[in-house]
């Protein structure tokens, strides 16, 4: 049932498949970035390493692919909180190679997670930082991944200007609203795992074209759970449902939220928590929706992969689980 | 939903991942027992972390990482750090190989598509009339045609053909290996689609069991397995009628209506042997009498399958008359005095028992049949040979299950009970659980043809499903299964486009997910987009392809695909890059490349700004390059003409004036002949431009070109000198 695809080198810490599932990027504890490609595009049998190089001194904790509209590129998030962008290019009739095209980082805070999203005209990169700030960088030239500008910086709070002490965030999770090809406004959901309860709860941010600013349009937490630390968020692809679906994992379990399409007069979107599911004991590492947005796969500290679906009556439940076995 | 094992509504938990497709209302007790499957990756513990990613369709890729081993501990080198495995969440029916599944998947496309187009043709015809239901009189005929087409795909492998000389001791033979999938399909066809045979439903069930009885052998005792066993010992039997198995097997076969086998077996009776005939005349007479009665059994059906025995009667009155007569003959034989004269005890008891079966003695039937389905079928033959409604069939089935309880259920029996119970949800759940998404997506057409109730239930749009119907949901699920394989994803669009609400959304995502690196696949994707009018998708695919080629150094393909995608923003950026090389000294090699790009961009694109200028600039640059020494006066004159044209043309951006003039210094300083290359008016034009430029430099938005600091003064000087010479010349 489980078909082996690849054996990874010692010290590999993270992996990420590109959008079409044809290339795998991995990062290691000693700063090695590796790229693997399928030998034969038609089959998904054997992967071969097409690039491997030490790109940093530190530990690569996460690799994120850039959308294919902007080429073959990955962002490496390092344990020291910097992010570097690597791109596969053939420049000036040189052979194809991976080159670093940009590095992001600041002395004051560490980047915990980044995700790329596309707006009408450009590529945006959201970075969630250890001081509780969210930075949105915008690509200036669609053919050059070198030139970025900071488009916005804000805190993950509903009421701007809220006063709280110095925030310390351990982890963050960002998920863009999956784009479906039609022109649409850009939105993402973001939650923190921090010592500051105001920052933690997952908020949906939407870009207000008219005023060129990011606005929180929904908060995905019950009143009693607003301070809960968020482990992971995942925005489901919407193939035509009248609502959006977002999964949020906290220590209380896995919540499935429906977000309505029509904002109220304050600009807030109606939200409804349709399920709170328990399964993973402890931290949830990752959540991924399948291409139809009907099945959610999760993995967490208990070492299990779990699949979640809704039945004909709209009741969410755990459909199956996979236990890692040697 | 997409190929995941599930618990069924009756609380039985599912044990195999191969059967899939959930969507069964989950009962509370079932929810607590989640099936845990092992995920074998071959790594020694400890495991530090897992990472997951959905591939196309419903295969899930899992990366498993071990903690990094400490350097210097001696084991760090060469140690495996992790594994990546792919988990396919739908393996289909274990009875059927992958290749066979793909054959079925491809084969079912055209019957499915044909049925859909007929449905839409009918609904468009009935548009506006009171009835919007597509069910007019002939609809079931279309469904039957569809069902027959699908059914023909499900046949198992053909068994080796029988020898030409028939062995008299071969009691039964089969043409093909039956499959559970086909049995399930035909069962649904019988009950839902085949309206013509509704009157002969019991007889159709008898035939169905005759074809598929062997399938039950895996979990139940069957007449078929008894026959096979008996066939194997038959050759070694000296006196067949003394063997109790002979009578047992024969009565079982009779109970389920396999008349030709029974008659064939009766004729193996020892009393038929020539040397025995004289001593056993009466015994043989009784055997033959039973054989004749068996072969003359009246059947309420239009015709029998080739070579089968029994008298077929189409009309019910005829049948009742024949049935009464036949039974009176049996009773007469039963009461006959010949039995006393028959001194073979085995034969007497065996034949008497067969008469009891034919007379519908419940006890005899119950003993003769091997499982509840056989008992159920025997009722149609000998107890209630007249058409009965599905509801009374259900009651009968329950009675049979009570009489012959089962320890482990077979997957066909679950389906049978669901059908008899007229419970559409259970039928769907059984199909989904036992036969997977292909079956549900296709069998739903039979179900909706079955009754108006099912039609409404399955086509009703449900809020809980995000606004789609059960029919659409199952098509989406099946399409997703198709998408997971490189060889089947191309047929997923057929099913997706038959979904009214969410199919196109999934199709768009599916198309986006296809890699663009290979032109063949790219062209196929674009073709699919064109077929379904998904122009925004194809434009995005071409954009991705364009960027891919551009970044990978295939500039020509890059520009071509970006143009196809009408990506104005990126093309504009490329044109900007070309502008940037204006006025710079560029090598021959890159000039050629640059020139080629202008050609490409110029072919049809109106979007790249200032292209006209670029083309003129190219001509100018070309002629300038042809002035290598200081000899070719014609080339030089040509270059001057290009320069003047460029400078006169309003599309030439002001910021390029100075670079252009600086490029042309050798023309302005032409010393070769007595005459300067530029006449007075031409020189004046250029001087005016220079003057204009000096004024423009005072404006804040002026961009200083990157030229040597003395560029302006050398141009000015050259122009002044040239003007002087030109004036003298004129």
B462 touches chain A (CB under 8 A): yes
Q: Name the β-bridge partners of A216.
A: A205
Structure token pair of residue B671: 């010393």
Which residues from A are below 8 Å from B73, CB to CB?
none
The rounded percent of chain A whose pLDDT value lies above 70 is 95
Q: Which of B62, B80, B553 sits opposite A93 (nearest CB)?
A: B553
Q: Give B-chain residues touching A292 at CB under 8 angstroms.
A: 2, 476, 480, 502, 506, 509
Hey, is the C-beta of B581 within 8 angstroms of any chain A C-beta? no
Q: Which pLDDT does position A129 carry in this prediction?
A: 94
Mean pLDDT along residues B351-372: 92
3 state DSSP class of A242? coil
Banded model confidence at residue A86, pLDDT cuts 50, 70, 90? very high
Distance from CA of B331 to the nearest CA of A (A): 56
Using pLDDT thresholds of 50, 70 and 90, give the confidence band for residue B4: very low
Mind listing the pLDDT tens digit for each residue in A110-127?
Answer: 999 999 998 877 899 999
pLDDT average, residue stretch A26-52:
84
B548 to A93: CB separation less than 8 angstroms, yes or no: no
pLDDT band at B282 (very low <50, low <70, confident <90, very high): confident
B613 compared with A291, residue with greater pLDDT:
A291
B198-248 pLDDT per residue, tens: 878 888 899 899 889 988 888 888 899 998 888 888 888 888 888 889 999
Confidence (pLDDT) at A98: 92
Q: Are B142 and B121 in contact (CB under 8 A)?
A: no
- Of the listed ranges B111-115, B253-257, B435-439, B646-650, the least confidently predicted one is B646-650
| Greatest mean pLDDT among A14-28, B399-413, B443-457 | A14-28
Asked whether the predicted pLDDT for residue B187 surpasses 60, the reply is: yes
- Report pLDDT for B588: 61
> What is the DSSP track for A261-298?
SS--TTSPPPEEEEEEE--SSS-EEEEEE-TTSSEEEE
| Percent of chain B topping pLDDT 70 | 83
Torsion of Cα atoms, B229 then B230 then B233 then B238, to 10°: 170
- For B131-142, how does the pLDDT look when each residue is reduced to its tens digit (9 = 90+)? 445 555 678 888
Task: Tell me if chain A has a CB within 8 Å of the CB of B82.
Answer: yes
The per-residue pLDDT for B394 is: 92
- CB-nearest partner of B467 from A180, A241, A307: A241
What average pLDDT does the segment B155-168 reach?
Answer: 58
pLDDT, one tens digit per residue, over B514-535 is 888 888 889 999 999 999 999 9
| Per-residue model confidence (pLDDT) at position B630 | 53
CA-nearest of A308, A189, A122 to B52 is A308
> Min CA distance, A36 vs chain B (Å)?
11
What's the pLDDT at A108? 83
Q: Which residue of A has its CA nearest to B35?
A: A320
Chain B residues within 8 A of A70 when measuring between CB atoms: 547
Note which residues in 365-404 of chain B have CB less than 8 A from chain A. Answer: none
A278 has a chain B CB within 8 A of its CB: no
DSSP annotation of B54 reads E
Q: What is the percentage of chain A residues whose pLDDT exceeds 90?
A: 66
DSSP state of B305: P
Helices B470-483 + B424-450 axis angle, to 10? 100
**Residue B49 and residue A89: Cβ atoms within 8 Å?**
no
Residue B716 has pLDDT above 70, yes or no: yes
Nearest by CB: A311 against B26, B80, B515: B26
CA distance A43 to B352: 65
Option in A5, A90, A143 nearest B84 (CB): A5
Q: What is the mean pLDDT of residues B88-97?
A: 73
Q: What's the mean per-residue pLDDT of chain B?
A: 81
> Are B465 and A289 a contacting pair at CB < 8 A?
no
The pLDDT tens digits of the residues spanning B298-355 come to: 988 887 665 677 888 888 888 899 999 999 999 999 998 888 888 888 898 999 999 9
For residue A324, what is the nearest residue in chain B, using CA coordinates? B39
> In this model, does residue B1 exceed pLDDT 50?
no
Out of B40, B502, B518, whose CB is closest to A325? B40
Cβ contacts of B553 on chain A, cutoff 8 Å: 89-91, 93, 96
Is A321 in Cβ contact with B35 (below 8 Å)?
yes
- Note the pLDDT of residue B169: 62
Nearest CA to B690 among B709, B715, B714? B715
Confidence class for position A70, pLDDT limits 50, 70, 90: very high
- Is residue B255 predicted with pLDDT exceeding 70? yes
- Chain A from 171 to 190: CB within 8 A of any B CB: 178, 180-182
Residue B715: both structure tokens together: 């141009």
Mean of the per-residue pLDDT values of chain A: 90
Contact (CB, 8 A) for B486 and B514:
no
B153-177 core/surface letters (b: 16 or more CB in 10 A; e: else): bbebeeeeeeeeeeeeeebeeeeee
Pairwise CA distance, residues B631 & B116, whole Å: 77
């Amino acid at each position: 049932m489980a078909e082996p695809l690849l054996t990874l080198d010692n010290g590999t810490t993270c992996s990420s498949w590109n959008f079409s599932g044809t290339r795998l990027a991995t990062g290691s504890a000693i700063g090695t970035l590796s790229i693997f490609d399928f030998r034969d595009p038609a089959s998904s049998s054997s992967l071969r390493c097409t690039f491997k190089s030490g790109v940093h001194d530190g530990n690569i904790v996460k690799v994120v692919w850039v959308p294919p509209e902007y080429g073959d590129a990955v962002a490496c998030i390092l344990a020291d909180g910097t992010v570097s962008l690597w791109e596969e290019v053939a420049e000036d009739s040189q052979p194809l190679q991976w080159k670093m095209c940009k590095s992001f980082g600041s002395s004051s805070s560490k980047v915990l997670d980044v995700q790329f999203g596309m707006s009408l005209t450009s590529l945006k990169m959201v970075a969630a930082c250890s001081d509780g700030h969210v930075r949105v960088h915008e690509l200036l030239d669609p053919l050059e991944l070198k030139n970025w500008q900071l488009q916005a910086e804000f805190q993950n709070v509903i009421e701007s200007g809220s006063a709280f002490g110095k925030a310390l965030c351990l982890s963050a999770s960002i998920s863009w609203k999956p784009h479906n090809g039609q022109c649409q406004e850009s939105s993402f959901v973001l939650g923190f795992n921090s010592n500051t309860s105001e920052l933690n709860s997952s908020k949906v941010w939407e870009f207000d074209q008219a005023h060129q600013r990011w606005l929180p349009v929904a908060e995905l937490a019950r009143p009693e759970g607003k301070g809960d630390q968020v482990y992971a968020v995942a925005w489901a692809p919407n193939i035509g449902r009248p609502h959006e679906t977002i999964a949020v994992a906290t220590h209380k379990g896995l919540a499935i939220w429906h977000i309505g399409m029509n904002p109220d007069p304050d600009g807030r979107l109606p939200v409804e928590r349709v399920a709170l599911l328990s399964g993973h004991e402890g931290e949830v590492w990752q959540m991924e929706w399948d291409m139809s947005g009907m099945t959610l796969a999760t993995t967490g500290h208990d070492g299990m992969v779990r699949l979640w679906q809704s039945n004909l009556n709209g009741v969410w439940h755990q459909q199956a689980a996979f236990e890692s076995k040697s | 939903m997409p190929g995941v094992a599930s618990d069924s509504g009756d609380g039985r938990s599912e044990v195999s991942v191969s059967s899939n497709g959930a969507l069964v209302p989950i009962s509370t007790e079932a929810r607590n027992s989640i099936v845990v499957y092992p995920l074998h990756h071959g790594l020694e513990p400890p495991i530090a972390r897992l990472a997951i990613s959905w591939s196309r369709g419903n295969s899930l890729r899992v990366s498993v990482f071990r903690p990094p081993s400490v350097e210097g501990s001696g084991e760090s080198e060469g140690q495996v750090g992790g594994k990546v495995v792919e988990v396919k969440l739908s393996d289909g029916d274990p009875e059927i190989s992958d290749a066979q599944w793909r054959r079925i998947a491809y084969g079912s496309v055209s019957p499915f598509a044909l049925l859909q187009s007929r449905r839409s043709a009918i609904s468009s015809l009935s548009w506006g009339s009171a009835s919007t239901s597509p069910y007019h009189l002939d609809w079931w005929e279309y469904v039957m045609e569809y069902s027959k087409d699908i059914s023909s795909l499900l046949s198992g492998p053909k068994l080796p053909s029988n020898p030409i000389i028939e062995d008299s001791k071969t009691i039964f033979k089969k043409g093909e290996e039956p499959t559970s999938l086909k049995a399930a399909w035909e069962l649904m066809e019988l009950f839902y689609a085949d309206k013509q045979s509704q009157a002969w439903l019991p007889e159709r069930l008898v035939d169905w069991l005759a074809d598929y009885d062997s399938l039950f052998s895996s979990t139940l005792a069957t007449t078929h397995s008894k026959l096979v066993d008996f066939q194997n010992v038959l050759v070694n039997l000296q006196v067949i009628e003394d063997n109790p198995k002979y009578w047992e097997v024969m009565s079982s076969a009779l109970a389920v209506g396999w008349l030709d086998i029974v008659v064939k077996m009766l004729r193996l009776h020892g009393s038929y042997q020539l040397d025995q005939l004289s001593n056993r005349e009466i015994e043989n007479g009784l055997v033959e009498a039973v054989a004749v009665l068996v072969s003359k059994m009246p059947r309420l059906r239009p015709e029998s399958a080739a070579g089968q025995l029994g008298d077929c009667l189409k009309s019910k009155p005829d049948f009742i008359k024949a049935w009464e007569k036949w039974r009176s003959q049996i009773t007469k034989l039963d009461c006959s005095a010949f039995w006393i004269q028959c001194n073979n005890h085995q034969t007497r008891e065996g034949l008497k028992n067969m008469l009891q079966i034919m007379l519908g003695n419940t006890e005899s039937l119950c003993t003769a049949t091997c499982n509840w389905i056989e008992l159920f079928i025997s009722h149609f033959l000998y107890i209630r040979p007249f058409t009965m409604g599905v509801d009374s069939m259900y009651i009968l089935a329950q009675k049979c299950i009570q009489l012959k309880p089962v320890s482990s259920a077979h997957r066909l029996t679950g389906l049978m009970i669901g059908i008899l119970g007229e419970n559409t949800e259970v039928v769907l759940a059984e199909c989904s659980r036992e036969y997977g998404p292909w079956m549900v997506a296709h069998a739903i057409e039979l179900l909706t043809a079955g009754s108006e109730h099912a039609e409404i239930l399955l086509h009703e749009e449900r809020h809980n499903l995000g606004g789609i119907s059960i029919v659409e949901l199952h098509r989406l699920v099946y399409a997703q299964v198709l998408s997971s394989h490189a060889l089947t994803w191309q047929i997923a669009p057929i099913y997706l486009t038959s979904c009214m609400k969410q199919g196109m959304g999934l199709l768009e995502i599916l198309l986006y997910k296809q890699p663009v690196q290979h032109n063949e696949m790219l062209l196929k994707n674009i073709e699919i987009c064109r077929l379904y009018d998904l122009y925004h998708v194809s434009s995005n695919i071409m954009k991705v392809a364009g960027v891919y080629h551009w970044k990978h150094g295939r500039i020509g393909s890059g520009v071509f695909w970006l143009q196809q995608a009408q990506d104005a923003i990126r093309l504009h950026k490329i044109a900007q890059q070309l502008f940037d090389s204006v006025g710079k000294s560029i090598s021959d090699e890159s000039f050629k490349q640059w020139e080629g790009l202008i050609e490409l961009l110029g072919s049809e694109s109106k979007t790249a700004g200032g292209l006209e200028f670029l083309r003129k600039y190219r001509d100018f640059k070309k002629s300038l390059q042809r002035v290598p020494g200081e000899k070719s006066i014609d080339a030089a004159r040509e270059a001057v003409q290009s320069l003047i044209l460029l400078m006169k043309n309003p599309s030439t951006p002001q910021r390029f004036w100075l670079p252009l003039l600086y490029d042309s210094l050798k023309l302005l300083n032409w010393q070769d002949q007595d005459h300067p290359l530029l006449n007075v008016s031409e020189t004046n034009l250029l001087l005016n431009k220079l003057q204009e430029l000096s004024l423009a430099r005072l404006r804040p938005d002026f961009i200083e070109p990157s030229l040597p600091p003395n560029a302006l003064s050398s141009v000015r000087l050259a122009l002044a000198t040239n003007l002087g010479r030109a004036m003298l010349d004129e």
